[in-house]
Amino acid sequence: MGVLKHYRELLPITDATPNVNLEEGSTPLIYLPRVSERLGIRLYGKFEGCNPSGSFKDRGMVLAVAKALEEGKRAIICASTGNTSASAAAYAASQGIPCFVLLPAGKVALGKLAQALMYGAKVIAVKGNFDRALELAGCAMVNSVNPYRLIGQRSGAWEICDVLGKAPDWHAIPVGNAGNISAYWAGYNEYHKLGKINKLPRMMGFQAEGAAPLVTNKPCPNPETIATAIRIGNPVSAHLARAAVSESNGEFNSVTDEEILNAQKILASEGGVFAEPASCAPLAGLIKLKWLEKLPEGITVTMILTGNGLKDPDTAMSQVGKPIEINDTLEDLMRVLECR
């Protein structure tokens, strides 16, 4: 039914708020038996790739755009590593308002670029990284500095608790600009105050090693990672993310690109879920913590699979072999099948 309708009571919605809706939210919380067994835990993936623009960004964007319209604004602008731009462009298209997006030139996954262009946004490629594009956007009203984005994103936590009937023991999440981890923490806390859950999770944030300012505790001037969605050196919501981790007795950890790509393959081939590289940082981290004997046996863990794997076909194809080509004869087919 869409986030605004589903969680109307918990959101800052008035009679004057337009009913913006692309049927976002209510994404599946998928139990992953094979990966759970490998790790000795109960592991669920919240597949945010099922949102209309293919990432979690739609949860906050729907509210941000609705409030912008309510306030009389008639255009939106954002800086993005790709998903925010796709989401902003989609909601702007649905409402018939112009959308301007600033992207780091050459560092956005193909699918995300195709989306922003197809939805009809004006796409501006900045010869610099995301952090610089965000500075330039300045009045970037739909970036996660926009409070409505983070409020809308709380709905992910509410859905998890509604489905599980409790909060998980650990909440594992990739961290880039650090908005989503902060939003989830606020969402869990709100449910706790309302008495809907009686325990809060530990917030476990995962960054890519080449873009890990929250792990190293200093800005990273030249962030670099294959997980382009989280290729961010100076997260805007760093203070909120630090508070979430310290209040929940959680941790920030980093993983290498190689570990991220390995986790992406495991999630697809043992879980049946194809998520984009950034989304696989948490699984990479859990695998690493298991190896370090820091993953408690039997706990319930939810990981947020923030974006759809289809958004970045280039990275996926560089990791897997080519299809086996055969002539159109039964003989050829039998030969191939017997090889297996």
What is the full DSSP assignment across 34-97?
HHHHHHTSEEEEEEGGGSTTSBTHHHHHHHHHHHHHHTT---EEEE-SSHHHHHHHHHHHHHT-
> 154 or 339, CB closer to ligand F0G?
154
CB of 237 vs ligand F0G, minimal distance in Å = 7
Please name which of 202, 250, 210 lies closest in space to residue 226, comparing C-alpha atoms. 210
Whole-number Å distance between alpha carbons of 34 and 284: 15
> 15 or 152, CB closer to ligand F0G?
152
Pairing of strands 202-208, 251-255: parallel
CB of 326 vs ligand F0G, minimal distance in Å = 36
> 33 or 219, CB closer to ligand F0G?
219
User: Binding residues for ligand F0G, per CB under 6 A?
Assistant: 55, 57, 80-84, 144, 174-180, 229-230, 276, 278-279, 306-307
Q: Which amino acid is at 219?
A: P
When computed from its CA atoms, the radius of gyration of the chain, rounded to whole angstroms, is 20
CB of 95 vs ligand F0G, minimal distance in Å = 20
Whole-number Å distance between alpha carbons of 262 and 35: 13
- Neighbour tally for 202: CB within 10 Å: 17
Whether 265 contacts 300, CB under 8 Å: no
Phi-psi region of 200 (alpha: psi -120 to 50; beta: other; left: phi over 0): beta
Please name which of 52, 103, 48, 53 lies closest in space to residue 78, comparing C-alpha atoms. 103
> 218 or 335, CB closer to ligand F0G?
218
CB of 235 vs ligand F0G, minimal distance in Å = 7
CB of 293 vs ligand F0G, minimal distance in Å = 27
> 132 or 196, CB closer to ligand F0G?
132
> 260 or 278, CB closer to ligand F0G?
278
CB of 168 vs ligand F0G, minimal distance in Å = 18
